[in-house]
């Protein structure tokens, strides 16, 4: 006879917490960050809004838990750590190129991350402040390798990377929200996406060969 699973207070609490966390993602995708209210989250989770303050203290803490669990930027970095190890910290152009290409693909295909970026640039909050700092710490590891490889050369890879990342974010958000061309390029089409990827590689190649 199969042993029955204990359905006590602890299990109920953990299930309810996970329902609330999952509900944040559903609301975020359907209504954006402005829809992340206690009422909306509780309704989607099918639970009392009172449980949000009991389990997470506040809506902000619940949303922060959701965002940190998703860890978008680690997911967007793909196998960058493996490439760094294989290259023994050299050929950072290849690493940055891979990171940017992967970020473009991941961001384009991830509606939740698109909403997160819109939230980041639209409203100053404790949640997004912490998330931004986490993202910067990830980038710092790569830039440390860049500094060693390009020591003595007048190449500002940080500034170039900043412009490329900003361009990726804007082009994707533009394509998803307006479905129109940008500089006569449509990244909703495979040819347009390929052109942007080629441009990223070309810019990095020229910068490193300078």
pLDDT digits (tens, 9 = 90+) for 165-209: 999 999 999 999 888 899 999 999 999 999 999 999 999 999 998
Structural domain including 149 reads: 72-209
Q: Are residues 50 and 101 in the same domain?
A: no
User: Which percentage of the chain shows pLDDT scores above 90?
Assistant: 48
Q: Are residues 84 and 59 in the same domain?
A: no
**pLDDT tens-digit readout, 39-58:** 999 999 999 999 999 999 88
* 18 vs 27: CA distance, rounded Å: 14
Query: Which distant-in-sequence residues (6+ apart) come within 8 Å of 66 by Cβ?
Result: 21, 24, 25, 28
The pLDDT, as a whole number, for residue 127 is: 76
The pLDDT, as a whole number, for residue 89 is: 66
Q: Which of 7, 5, 46 is nearest to 26 (CA)?
A: 46
Domain end call among 53, 69, 85: 69
Distances (CA, A) of 205 to 20, 93, 199: 46, 7, 10
Q: Are residues 108 and 154 in the same domain?
A: yes
Q: Are residues 20 and 102 in the same domain?
A: no
Query: Which distant-in-sequence residues (6+ apart) come within 8 Å of 122 by Cβ?
Result: 33
The pLDDT, as a whole number, for residue 3 is: 46
Q: Residue 58: in which H helix or E strand, if any? A: none
Q: Is the pLDDT of residue 73 over 90?
A: no
Strand ranges for 123-192 from DSSP E = none
Q: Are residues 119 and 102 in the same domain?
A: yes
The pLDDT, as a whole number, for residue 1 is: 47
Q: Are residues 116 and 58 in the same domain?
A: no
The domain total for the chain is 2
Q: Are 48 and 13 in contact (CB under 8 A)?
A: no
pLDDT tier for residue 10 given thresholds of 50, 70 and 90: low
Q: Structure pTM?
A: 0.78
DSSP 3-state of 139: helix
């Amino acid at each position: 006879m199969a042993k029955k699973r204990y359905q006590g207070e602890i299990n109920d609490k953990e299930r309810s917490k996970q329902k609330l966390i999952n509900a944040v993602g559903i609301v975020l995708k359907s209504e954006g960050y402005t829809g992340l209210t206690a009422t909306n989250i509780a309704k989607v989770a099918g639970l009392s809004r009172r449980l949000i303050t009991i389990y997470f203290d506040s809506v902000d803490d619940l949303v922060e838990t959701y965002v940190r669990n998703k860890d978008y930027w680690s997911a967007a970095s793909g196998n960058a750590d493996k490439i760094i190890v294989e290259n023994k910290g050299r050929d950072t152009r290849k690493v940055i190129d891979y990171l940017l290409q992967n970020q473009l693909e991941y961001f384009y295909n991830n509606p939740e991350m698109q909403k997160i970026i819109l939230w980041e640039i639209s409203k100053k909050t404790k949640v997004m402040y912490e998330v931004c700092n986490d993202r910067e710490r990830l980038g710092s590891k790569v830039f440390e390798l860049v500094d060693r490889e390009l020591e003595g050369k007048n190449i500002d890879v940080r500034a170039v990377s900043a412009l490329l990342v900003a361009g990726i974010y804007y082009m994707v958000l533009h394509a998803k929200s307006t479905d129109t061309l940008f500089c006569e390029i449509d990244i909703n089409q495979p040819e347009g996406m390929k052109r942007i990827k080629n441009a990223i590689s070309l810019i990095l190649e020229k910068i490193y060969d300078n």
